[in-house]
Amino acid sequence: MGLTKSEIFTNEQNRLASLFKVLGHPARVAILQYIINQKACICNDLVDELGLAQATISQHLKELKNMGIIQGTIEGKSVCYCIDEKLWKQIQAEFNVFFNQEVKVNSCCP
Amino acid sequence: MGLTKSEIFTNEQNRLASLFKVLGHPARVAILQYIINQKACICNDLVDELGLAQATISQHLKELKNMGIIQGTIEGKSVCYCIDEKLWKQIQAEFNVFFNQEVKVNSCCP
DNA sequence: AATTATTATCGTAATATTGCGATGTAAAGA
DNA sequence: TCTTTACATCGCAATATTACGATAATAATT
């Protein structure tokens, strides 16, 4: 046990869940907000900005990269991160499809 | 370690992350879709519908209830679950605020 | 070439999550 | 009352996540 039974769910359910999951940590929310709001491309600044160790930040960045939400470009000895705006908008759209499902009226609901 | 350092993040960041987190499991996505799409109020049917043990379903329902996304009404010996539509729309709005932040243009981004 | 700066990765400890059997509880029905 | 049904909760095992120090890798700087 302790292992999610992905095989019993639909691809859509697994996809949605993994998108939600990667956003389900305050450090990753903070990292995204920071990258979105900086004009310049930040990288190591995240370590100073958030109060987490460099290894920890790097790990969170990796998860965001794995989902394709951010991209990292090497610039000399540092790395510049930015949002993949296309995917960003697409995720929003996928979430809205989920939320916009018409909720059927149930007798027991107030 | 192994403990999320909530205290270093803003309330908004922690709030968003916990909303995303509760949706970040395919069983909970499936449960929500099922409740949304049933006209009648379902309860134990979830155990048959998804391939998970009753104890497991009950635990996922509890997490959704704790976030206020669903409500359970006792009806005889069963429980009728439904979406809290008001909160449902509010969560969607909170997500959209997050996604609609203007992404600043970065020199390094393609 | 040696040093420094920036990031990634590895290994590991602490904690959280997932899943389920067993058991408890409360209402309905026999 | 006894049994059945429908859930909730407890306790546990397996696995995942979070965090960080140490170290490796790479590029700039001296």
Q: Can you list the domains of chain B with their CATH numbers?
A: 10-96 (1.10.10.10)
Q: What's the pLDDT score for residue B101? A: 95
- Chain A, chain B: beta-carbon pairs less than 8 Å apart: 173
Q: Which residue is it, tokens 């965001």?
A: A64
Query: How does residue A106 score in pLDDT terms, banded at 50, 70 and 90?
Result: confident
Distance CA(B13)–CA(B21), nearest Å, equals 12
* Cβ separation A36–B104 shorter than 8 A: yes
* Residue of B17, B75, B103 lying closest to A29 (CB–CB): B17
Q: What's the pLDDT score for residue B110? A: 65
Q: Percent of chain A scored above 90 by pLDDT?
A: 82
Burial class (CB in 10 A: 0-12, 13-18, 19+), A93: exposed
Chain B residues inside the 8 Å CB shell of A92: 95-96, 99-100
Mean confidence (pLDDT) of chain A: 93
Q: What is the pTM of this model?
A: 0.95
Single out the residue of B86, B3, B92, B21 nearest to residue B60, CA to CA: B21
Single out the residue of B57, B32, B65 nearest to residue A104, CA to CA: B32
Could you say which nucleotides of strand C lie within 7 A of any protein CB atom? Answer: 5-22, 26-28
Rg (CA), chain A: 17
* pLDDT tens digits, B32-91: 999 999 977 788 899 999 999 999 999 999 999 999 999 999 999 999 999 999 999 999
**Strand C within 7 A of B110 CB:** no
